[in-house]
Amino acid sequence: MDYKNYIKKLNNEFSAVNQAPVFKNKHEKYVSGYRVPSGCAVFGIINEDGQLFDGRMVIDGIAMMHDRSNGLGGGFAAYGIYPQYKNEYAFHVFYDDSIARKEAEIFLHKAFKILYADEIPTQKVKSISSPPIIARYFLRPKNISIELEGFESKNDLNDEIINRAEEEFVASFVSNFNADPGGSYIISSGKNMGIFKGVGYPEDIGEFYKLDDYSAYIWTSHGRFPTNSTGWWGGAHPFGFLNWSVVHNGEISSYGTNKRFVSGFGYKCSFSTDTEVLAYLFDLLVRKHGISLYLINYILAAPFWDDIEILPEDIKEFLKALRIIYGRALVNGPFSIVVGNNNFMYALNDRIKLRPLVAAKKGPLTFVSSEESAIRKVCTNPDAIWNPKGGEPVMVFIKGKEPAVKSGIKIKKENFIESVSSLNSSFAGALE
């Protein structure tokens, strides 16, 4: 093969892609003429003390892995950036044009009380062309109706029940809104957090959104190299749903099965990316089914049957039950993911580690990355650095926000969900 001409051809394709209009309408999308299946970069940082820091560190980290992406998508998720509206939902919305915006805002005003709205501040970046209208809303749901036996009036309802009802309302609204967007896409819908993404290299997207002006205690980021889907603004990572954000490197070969599984619970996959289904899986398992975060890896990256057979009998029976009940939530294919939520950052590899994932710690900071070089770019002397095993999660919680620990819980097949939701970290240790 004539490698010089081959590289020249690739460079020409890069130039053609990056000079084309990015987002004129929902039908105009980028397609790369070649594949690098192992491409994409993920990077995340959490300060477990909850201290805020600006976006420069995460931009520098993801920029170190520039060659893992191809300019067809980059993005960031940040937690703690809206303290003045920390109790309100923050929607980030892409609009094709002003007509789409006007039509969408009719629905927003019907469903929500909008406390403040503006366009997200951006600046011109040479490599970013034809962005959509990018608007931001701080809002709360209207007319939440809660019917529960045993409660005579709203005054009897505690905050947790009201919050859960609001979450379910917002989840349903966002899912239905994005399923029939009409040129409008809600890309971020959590509280005190936001997603900033688009078509371009991640470091350019960071400059475009002026992320140096934001301060957060958790940052995650992604550089995209699409393999099985097109590059477009809504399809860039992170993918967000309520307080969840997911960045992902790899290919989910079980996407069809996973999609059908979550659709049975009302989720609608609308963004033509396998990463979307991961966000729905976390929301379903953790928020709706109440499964301990310590056990999620035993569903998404479940041990092989042969490995389960050699475990003690009680643990073996439990893991068999997990695999049977949540078999369609098993994520097959090579992947490494970083998941953000208000109280924690979570990273996970596929069970045989076909995609890279490195973790490091320095004081209250924990880093996860596709490459060690990105971590050392922003933290030259970490206290510890390690390569998590396949299927072994990295979980870091904000201090004081760790899940409650209970002990002495027995597993009952007839009461499975309640049993799983109360399992503790010591049980997770026994599984390792």
Q: Which amino acid is at 117?
A: A
- 235-248 burial, b at 16+ Cβ within 10 Å, e below that, comes to bbbbbbbbbbbbbb
Say how far apart CA 69 and CA 77 lie, in whole Å.
18
40 flagged as catalytic: yes
* CA distances (Å), origin 358, targets 127, 223, 379: 30, 16, 13
Say how far apart CA 12 and CA 96 lie, in whole Å.
28
Backbone angles phi, psi at 284, to 5 degrees: -65, -50
CB atoms within 10 A of CB 36: 15
Which residues, other chains included, contact 268 with Cβ-Cβ below 8 Å and sequence gap of 6+? 175, 176, 178, 179
Strand 74-79 and strand 133-141: the pairing is unpaired
Say how far apart CA 284 and CA 120 lie, in whole Å.
30
CB 426 within 8 A of CB 407: yes
For the chain, give the number of residues.
432
The token duo for 345 is 């950052």
* CA distances (Å), origin 168, targets 40, 93, 239, 266, 403: 32, 19, 18, 11, 21
**Per annotation, catalytic residue among 17, 22, 40, 358:** 40
The token duo for 380 is 């030259």
The CA dihedral of 56, 61, 62, 67, to the nearest 10 degrees, is 130
Q: Which amino acid is at 397?
A: F
Say how far apart CA 361 and CA 172 lie, in whole Å.
38
The token duo for 110 is 């019907």
Tell me if residue 119 falls in helix, strand or coil: strand
DSSP string, 15-63: HHHHHS---SSTT--B--SS--TT--EEEEEEETT---EETHHHHHHHH
Handedness of CA 356, 350, 197, 34 (dihedral sign): positive
Active site (catalytic) residues: 40
